[in-house]
Chain A
Amino acid sequence: MSAQTAGGAAGGENAPVGVVLVSHSGPVADSVATLALGLAGDGVTVPVAGAGGTPDGGLGTSAELITKAARTVDRGAGVAILVDLGSAVLTVKALIAEGDELPEGARLVDAPLVEGAVAAVVAASAGADLDAVAAAAGEAYGYRKE
């Protein structure tokens, strides 16, 4: 897992929504985080963390890495969690059902991982709240490629 943020913003009313990117692969999660921050522009202070693969570096989903990433990016304004597929979806849903595993305001966002991550980070960097970040990420499903 890598937590990336340009600002180290403290909590408070204007704190940004945090973004967690869950993939079956550690390199995918971390690279999508880098890509989203890079495309969001200079000086973006949105906390973004990848939670990819298993703790030993294998392919899979780790509840431990996901909860750690969510706590890392939580600034009190909520955490948008984007996932790839299968066990990533189910694990985040199960963690949310647990109630006390993820920070308050953590939400599974229904969005494509890469396109949704860019939309989420851009929206969060513009000061959008969790609802608006989730909506922006979800809208990425509407972008057709042919």
Chain B
Amino acid sequence: MLDAAFFVRWMTAAAAVIDREADRLTELDSPIGDADHGKNMQRGFTAVVKTLAAEPPATPGAVLTTAGRQLISSVGGASGPLYGTLLRRAGKVLGEADRVSAEELRSGLAAGVDAVGQLGGSAPGDKTMLDALVPGVTALSASFDAAAEAAGQGALATVPMQARKGRASYLGERSIGHQDPGAASSALLFAALAEVAK
């Protein structure tokens, strides 16, 4: 079973890996985006860690809703409301339980991923974060490691896709050949989850 401390460790690990990979995320965002994804995610997760450290929430659900709220208010780009919605919806599904099972986490994240698709009006194959989130959440029913692997593969699979959502979609065929930065950062969230579950 996973308690609130586990979820705080997950968010902290996510912030650390995003910090390490910020330059790569921004590089990925240069040819097809506005070259701020790394910096935006860094700002958002720095705020998340700060808030969680100042007032550690008592339940897994509260950790995720608090983190999501911070992302919405501090990121400054589209990834803020999208990741914020992912975590808030997942947190709401987890409710007020002190501890949750891996399966409950999976179904919470699945609801979060659905909410992200609704908010952005997108589906897998559109070259967005969903291309990493959907396989990641699906593989979560096997293991955390499998989820990290599947999300990473999902992010790589965005390279040959043509973007149908967001700024990259204006580039048409020129969006082909570049990894989607949102899918890349989504894969990092699953990597952080696998790391703290070890």
Contacts and interface: CB of A to CB of B under 8 A. Distances in A.
B72 A87 contact: no
Contacts of B79: 87
A44 to B, nearest CB: 32
B81 A93 contact: yes
Contacts of A135: none
A81 B85 CA distance: 20
B108 interface: no
Contact of B81 (A59, A64, A87): A87
B120 interface: yes
Contact of A95 (B72, B76, B166): B72
Interface centre among A61, A90, A95, A97 (most CB of B within 10 A): A90
Contact of B77 (A61, A94, A97): A61
A64 B77 contact: no
Query: What class of interface size applies to chain B in its complex with A?
Result: 20 to 34
A62 B81 contact: no
Given A60-B36, A98-B69, A90 B81 contact: yes
B78 interface: yes
Interface string A56-94: 001111111000000000000000000000110011011
A90 B69 contact: no
A86 B167 contact: yes
A64 B73 contact: yes
Contacts of B80: 61, 63, 87, 90-91, 94
Interface in A94-145: 94-95, 97-98
A97 B76 contact: no
A125 B191 CA distance: 53
Nearest to B89: A97
Contacts of B74: 63
Interface in A17-66: 54, 58-64
Interface of B: 34, 36, 40, 69, 72-74, 76-82, 84-85, 88, 119-120, 166-167
**The 5 residue pairs across chains A and B that have the minimum distance between CB atoms:** A94-B81, A60-B76, A87-B78, A90-B81, A63-B73
Given A63-B74, A87-B76, A91-B72, 7 more contacts: A60-B77, A62-B76, A87-B79, A90-B78, A90-B82, A94-B84, A98-B88
30 contacts: A54-B76, A60-B36, A60-B76, A60-B77, A61-B77, A61-B78, A61-B80, A63-B72, A63-B73, A63-B74, A63-B80, A86-B78, A86-B166, A87-B76, A87-B77, A87-B78, A87-B81, A90-B81, A90-B120, A91-B80, A91-B81, A93-B81, A93-B119, A94-B80, A94-B84, A94-B85, A94-B119, A95-B72, A97-B119, A98-B72
